[in-house]
Amino acid sequence: MRLRIIKCHGSGNDFPLIDARRLALDDATWAGVARALADRRGPVGGDGMLLLTEGDGQYAFGFRMFNSDGSESETCLNGLRCVARAGFAALGIEAARVRLKTSEADVARDDDLADGVYTVRETAGPVSLDVAAWPMRGLGERVIETPIAATGSARAFTAIAIPNPHLVAFVEAVDEAELVAVGGVCEAAPDWLPNRANVSFVATPQSETLRGPREASREPDALFVRTYERGVGLTDSCGSAMAASTHAAGLTGRIAFGTPVTVFNRGGMVRAVAGEDGMVTLSGNATFEWEGAVTVDPATGVAGDLVIERWHNDEIDSWARVADAAR
């Protein structure tokens, strides 16, 4: 099949995006399309695949996200901003309520983070602390600043779903080897965590990791988030991880709820605010890099014959300046 795509990214989290409002494909076919398009060895590549889907009386449009392994995620807040931009353009609007897989979110065009950086504000939640609903077994009703022996790490984790499940550990410095090891344990879907979870190591405002970036930011508080994402692996950016980490910072008293926070990652940054009501607002880029068409065989998970019809070089350059400053 021949599909039109937009290659886009939110805070460095990159995806092929498809307007699927008129495409009647079943979930198994979409999973095959995702494996083909997100394959880094293929012509497109990405952390996953995004779909703009039809709305209804309650929602202006819908959102779906498939990971690179073909599994479907509850949400992806970096990807949601990109789908929101496509939905705004398709419908001629600048704000909407969006249907997600198991929840909903409000999105709106926001003031640009920097010159030439298309920016979307998104509000998601409320977060859930009920780990039995994931399920995460044998650890009680809530996990807040608690070691989880089964991870193989002595670190204290906080468990938050928004609605993707996340394990957040605050650290002085990010040890990527340790993060990959813990993420691999969770990715294996052990009996105590059958649906897996995203794992994030988060550098605190007081850490050496954030001294330079924090001084460069205009917000009084900052976090640096590094995530091992289920279905993806180690990723430069994960929007729901940044949201979960911001809420965890409030929950554990590191940053007061309601405080504007600059959240840095390997792909760039977003602005975030976590409320005591469990809602988290992120404001970040929705950058379009190019538009084109590609042939996909969902059965084999192979893509080919890519034709790029339009480059968005100005947007690419504008975001590169933001990302360079964040690093």
Q: Tokens for 246?
A: 């911001």
What CATH code is assigned to 2-122+285-326?
A: 3.10.310.10
Q: Kindly report the CA angle at 168 between 141 and 133, in degrees rounded to 5? A: 30
Q: Tokens for 5?
A: 């795509």
Distance between CA atoms of 238 and 197, rounded to whole angstroms?
13
**Cα–Cα separations (whole angstroms), residue 233 to 15, 106, 303:** 15, 28, 21
pLDDT along the chain (327 residues), means of 10: 98 96 96 97 96 96 96 93 98 97 95 95 96 94 96 97 96 95 97 97 72 49 94 90 97 96 92 96 98 97 97 97 83
Distance between CA atoms of 323 and 327, rounded to whole angstroms?
6
pLDDT at 207: 62
Structural fold of domain 131-278: Diaminopimelate Epimerase; Chain A, domain 1 (3.10.310)
Contact 202/224 with Cβ under 8 angstroms?
yes
Catalytic residue, candidates 8, 76, 82, 186? 76
Q: Where are the domains of the chain?
A: 2-122+285-326, 131-278
pLDDT at 218: 46
Task: Judge whether 76 counts as a catalytic residue.
Answer: yes
Residue given tokens 């984790």 in the structure block: 157
Q: Kindly report the CA angle at 165 between 66 and 60, in degrees rounded to 5? A: 55
**Cα–Cα separations (whole angstroms), residue 70 to 48, 265, 294, 302:** 8, 25, 18, 13
Rounded to 5, what percent of the chain is helix, strand, coil?
25, 35, 40
176-182: long-range contacts (C-beta < 8 A, 24 or more apart)?
Answer: 176/226, 176/234, 178/153, 179/226, 179/228, 179/234, 180/228, 180/233, 180/234, 181/152, 181/153, 182/151, 182/152, 182/153, 182/155, 182/228
**Cα–Cα separations (whole angstroms), residue 144 to 154, 155, 295, 314:** 14, 12, 47, 43
Distance between CA atoms of 142 and 326, rounded to whole angstroms?
34
pTM to 2 decimals? 0.89
Amino acid at 248: A
Contact 50/77 with Cβ under 8 angstroms?
no
Q: Tokens for 240?
A: 């729901």
Distance between CA atoms of 209 and 284, rounded to whole angstroms?
22
Catalytic residue, candidates 8, 82, 186, 238? 238
Distance between CA atoms of 236 and 239, rounded to whole angstroms?
10
Task: Establish whether domains 2-122+285-326 and 131-278 are of one fold.
Answer: yes
